[in-house]
């Protein structure tokens, strides 16, 4: 893929990939002023079809260091969610292609240089890749926005710099993985070795295609494993592009293989493959169960699952209401609401409930929805027609079940997959919009009386991925952080997802952790070595 510089300068705003620029992006609001308060079902979104000026050069599978067609010759379209138009036709991998990719990864692990390199050499390859990714920040962000619909500001100023940070973080771990010497009860020398597990099969979702690519690929490679990664069928393009950069950085053939295709064919083949040693999956809880089952039916390969959520965002009576409204707004509407840890159940204390609802409604009405390539746009389209219709059905169910529709609730225009930011009040725990993962821009605001009640209600779900707490009271914060059965608790903030912070869920939100040092154990085997000692000098 190539960016045509003159058109990029005229069409896209200037991007700095520095950390300070990434932080500044989080505070950009309404630079492109267009209130959605007048949007109805017939309003249109102004989309410039000339953006982005990106040429698709890689739409094939990446197997053994080469971009190749699917064995069947089949392709499938990937769509621009701004318009519903086809961006490109991508090679459709299936079982035979998975076999080819796993064979390449197995050979690269058993015979190839990657696990035999020094850890320092592996680190240098990963650092060179991070440098290339940083250099190509703008075009990678453009691809991600075009294929996914997330705003360009978010992709260019936040997500791609985060991907760079993740790879640099794990590159730093490569030469710091080591075993131990341990004491025993007899005349033996005892040590443990931490060794790469082998071929890792990985499946990434469509909501954060490249960010979660980094969460999976970086620790696996840092530990010396090889990878076969299946992209989401909705968003295959960015992984193919950046994997080309990985080859340029010196990654040996077969170490990283990319299969684009569908779950029932390519995904199932990868999960059940007898020569895959480890699985890592991010996606829905229902699909996670299938992944776990396929592992159990094949070779009992270990599985890391990062699944769905219905995360509570709890606003206590002492909270700064204005700050809480803004943070809760971001917690649910970030990334078009397509976020597994979205704060989709907003619990507000009864003493400030009415004030919070009015301000949450006003904030939603000011949210800028439009072409994600335009400056200041806060919300782009949903990923595709399936997700779009699912969200609208949930909105209708909220109205039918008696919740109060404060704002939004309709599609925007007749082309593309845009939905008004939607706020419901008077939501009850038994309503579908309070129980189910909607994965869209729908805020449900519920009322509570005291901490004991909100703890019980917040935990009354099969999910346990994350939670937000907004309070000035240290005792309340401490009580809630211990009582909430979730993998992450954000206090007076939300969606802080640094490379160093472990992320994962309790209950049906998954098993294992991604990011941070904790994820390394998922890609390592621990081997105990016991050597007999005859007449040791110290006895």
Residues classed as catalytic: 306, 340
Going by DSSP bridges, is the β-strand pair 442-448/422-425 parallel, antiparallel, or unpaired?
parallel
Q: How many alpha carbons lie under 13 Å from residue 411 in its C-beta half-sphere?
A: 18
CA distance 79 to 75: 13
Q: How far apart are CA 452 and CA 225, in angstroms?
A: 46
Q: Measured between alpha carbons, how far is 239 from 203 in angstroms, rounded to an integer?
A: 12
Q: Which two tokens stand for residue 421?
A: 């930011």
- HSE of 231, CA atoms in CB hemisphere, 13 A: 32
What is d(CA 463, CA 307) in angstroms, rounded to the nearest whole number? 9
Residue 484: phi and psi, rounded to 5, are: -75, 130
CB 508 within 8 A of CB 308: yes
Residue by residue, DSSP assigns 489-510 as EEES------TTS-B--SGGGE
What is the CB-side half-sphere exposure of residue 175 using CA atoms within 13 A?
A: 13
Tokens, residue 47: 């989309």
Structure tokens at 457: 């209600």
Q: Which residues pair with 278 in a beta bridge?
A: 200
Instruction: For residue 62, list its beta bridge partners.
Output: 67, 258
Cis amide prior to 52 (ω within 30 degrees): yes
State how far the Cα of 198 lies from the Cα of 503, in Å rounded to an integer.
23
């Amino acid at each position: 893929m190539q960016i045509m510089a003159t058109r990029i300068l005229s069409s896209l705003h200037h991007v700095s990939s520095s950390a300070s620029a990434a932080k500044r992006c989080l505070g950009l609001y309404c630079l492109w002023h267009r209130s959605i308060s007048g949007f109805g079902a017939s309003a249109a979104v102004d989309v410039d079809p000339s953006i982005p000026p990106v040429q698709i050069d890689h739409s094939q599978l990446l197997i053994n260091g080469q971009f190749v067609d699917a064995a069947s010759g089949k392709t499938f379209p990937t769509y621009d969610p701004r318009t519903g138009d086809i961006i490109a036709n991508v090679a459709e991998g299936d079982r035979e292609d998975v076999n080819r990719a796993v064979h390449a990864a197995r050979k690269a692990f058993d015979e190839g240089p990657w696990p035999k390199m020094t850890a320092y050499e592996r680190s240098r390859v990963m650092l060179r890749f991070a440098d290339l990714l940083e250099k190509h920040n703008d075009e990678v962000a453009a691809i991600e926005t075009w294929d996914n619909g997330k705003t360009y500001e978010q992709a260019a100023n936040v997500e791609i710099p985060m991907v760079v940070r993740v790879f640099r973080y794990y590159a730093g771990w490569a030469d710091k993985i080591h075993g131990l010497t341990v004491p025993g009860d007899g005349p033996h020398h005892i040590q443990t070795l931490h060794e790469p597990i082998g071929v890792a099969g990985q499946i990434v979702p469509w909501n954060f295609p490249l960010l979660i690519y980094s969460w999976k690929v970086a620790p696996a490679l840092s530990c010396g494993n090889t990878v076969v990664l299946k992209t989401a069928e909705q968003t295959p393009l960015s992984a193919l592009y950046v994997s080309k950069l990985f080859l340029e950085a010196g990654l040996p053939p077969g170490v990283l293989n990319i299969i684009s295709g569908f779950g029932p064919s390519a995904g199932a083949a990868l999960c059940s493959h007898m020569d895959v040693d480890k699985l890592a999956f991010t996606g829905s809880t229902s699909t996670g169960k299938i992944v776990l089952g396929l592992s159990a039916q094949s070779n009992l390969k270990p599985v890391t699952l990062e699944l769905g959520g219905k995360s509570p965002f709890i606003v206590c009576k002492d909270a700064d209401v204005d700050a809480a409204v803004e943070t809760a707004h971001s917690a649910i509407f970030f990334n078009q609401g397509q976020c597994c840890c979205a704060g989709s159940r907003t619990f507000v204390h009864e003493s400030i409930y009415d004030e919070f609802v009015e301000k949450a409604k006003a904030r939603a009405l000011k949210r800028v929805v439009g072409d994600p390539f335009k400056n200041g746009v806060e919300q782009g389209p949903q990923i595709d027609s399936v997700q779009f219709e699912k969200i609208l059905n949930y909105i209708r169910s909220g109205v039918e079940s008696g919740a109060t529709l404060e704002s939004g609730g309709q599609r925007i225009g007749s082309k593309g997959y845009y939905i008004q930011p939607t706020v419901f009040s008077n939501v009850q725990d038994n309503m579908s919009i309070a129980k189910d993962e909607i994965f869209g821009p729908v805020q449900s605001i519920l009322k509570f009386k005291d901490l004991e009640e909100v703890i019980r209600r917040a935990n009354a779900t099969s999910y346990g991925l994350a939670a937000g707490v907004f309070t000035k009271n240290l005792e309340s914060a401490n009580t809630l952080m211990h009582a909430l059965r979730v993998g992450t608790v954000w206090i007076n903030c939300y969606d802080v997802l640094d490379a160093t912070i472990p992320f994962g869920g309790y209950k049906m939100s998954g098993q294992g952790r991604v990011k941070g040092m904790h994820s390394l154990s998922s890609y390592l085997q621990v081997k105990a070595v016991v050597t007999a000692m005859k007449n040791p000098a110290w006895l």
